[in-house]
Amino acid sequence: MDGSNAGSRKLAAEAMLGRPRAVARLISLIENAVAGPDRAPDAGTALREVMAELATGTREPYRAWVIGLTGAPGVGKSTTTSMLIRTLRGRDARVGVLAVDPSSPFTGGALLGDRVRMQEHATDPDVFIRSMSSRGHLGGLAWATPQALRVLEAAGCDVILVETVGVGQAEVDIAKLADTTVVLLAPGMGDGVQAAKAGILEIADVFVVNKADREGARATVRELRNTVSLATAPWRPPVVTTVAVRGEGADELSTALDGHLAYLEESGEARRRRLARARDEIEAIALARLRSRFSGLHGDRLDALAERLLAAEIDPYTAADDLVAAVAHAER
């Protein structure tokens, strides 16, 4: 066993003991492996070794309940997350929070400065809070998020809350990872609600209308209930109202979530979702590896092909065939 391997074993062991520093260090390693918009994520040897230890050494893998929270900016995601942490801590659950920021892929954004709103839990040794930005393009979050979940799971988290800004692909990615997806709305955000309606119904397991003391709350709830009543899926998402900043609606939200968890277990859907998450994790790592091969081929074949495409000497499909053949050859 070489030095690197010994260090990896130690780091893995400490993460599995739930040591906050080891957990933080590992999630940073994962985040840093997502290099930038023009490079595929790439785990170094140390990270690979630790992740292998965790994958096969965790006592009960895939035991944690992963709850995704998504919604437009300003809807109260962090406040709701904080309220949820209080409820869960009241039940003695160990809680992980992963705040995923898809908004600033180039810089590693600052959107989640509002972790401040979760400050009350900062000193609780059974609450792990981490934010993760998506510096990487093309599947950076799809690569990193399942691995970060794996780390939090290994650290003994009973519940993991994944919070993300709810528009577009990021929202869908979270829904694919989560056991239960909570979609947050607030009254008076008309345009957004209307616009998002079609897609939202397909990812939401529970709806929360937050800031329910504001004007228009009833209309928003009514509208949502109408939308939900059209759902044909076996699970019909409940609509809960909250004023998270005052802790109002905490019990109702908790009941709705428990209801969905019971449904997941009874229907066999829990296992299906976890299998899909495992598939996505493997596929994201495999794709990243193949992508990094594209650029790594000698003489940068992709650049040469792009030049020929620009000059109308080749078509894009033939160019892609050439690239795939070169990668396959290099992998042998």
Nearer to its own copies, 48 or 86 (CB): 48
d(CA 293, CA 287): 10
Block residue for tokens 């109260």 = 76
| Residue 192 binding its own copies, by CB under 8 A | yes
Near its own copies in 219-258, by CB under 8 A: none
d(CA 183, CA 201): 9
* DSSP secondary structure letters along 174-236: HHHH-SEEEEEE-TT-HHHHHHHHHHHHHH-SEEEE-STTSTTHHHHHHHHHHHHHT--SSS-
Which one of 120, 202, 213, 265 is in contact with its own copies (CB under 8 A)?
Answer: 202
Which one of 48, 86, 91, 218 is in contact with its own copies (CB under 8 A)?
Answer: 48
| Residue 68 binding its own copies, by CB under 8 A | no
Near its own copies in 287-316, by CB under 8 A: 287, 289-291, 294, 302-303, 305-307, 309-310, 312-316
Which one of 103, 248, 254, 297 is in contact with its own copies (CB under 8 A)?
Answer: 103
In whole angstroms, the minimum distance from the beta carbon of 330 to its own copies comes to: 8
Which one of 46, 62, 235, 270 is in contact with its own copies (CB under 8 A)?
Answer: 62
84's CB contacts (< 8 A; 6+ apart) are 67, 69, 161, 250, 253, 254
In whole angstroms, the minimum distance from the beta carbon of 251 to its own copies comes to: 29
In whole angstroms, the minimum distance from the beta carbon of 50 to its own copies comes to: 10
CA atoms in the 13 A half-sphere facing the CB of 307: 6
| Residue 13 binding its own copies, by CB under 8 A | no
d(CA 175, CA 171): 6
Site string for its own copies, 109-148 (x = CB under 8 A): xxx----------------------x--xxx--x---xx-
Site string for its own copies, 147-166 (x = CB under 8 A): x--x--------------x-
d(CA 77, CA 83): 10
Which one of 168, 188, 236, 267 is in contact with its own copies (CB under 8 A)?
Answer: 168
Report helix, strand or coil for 314: coil
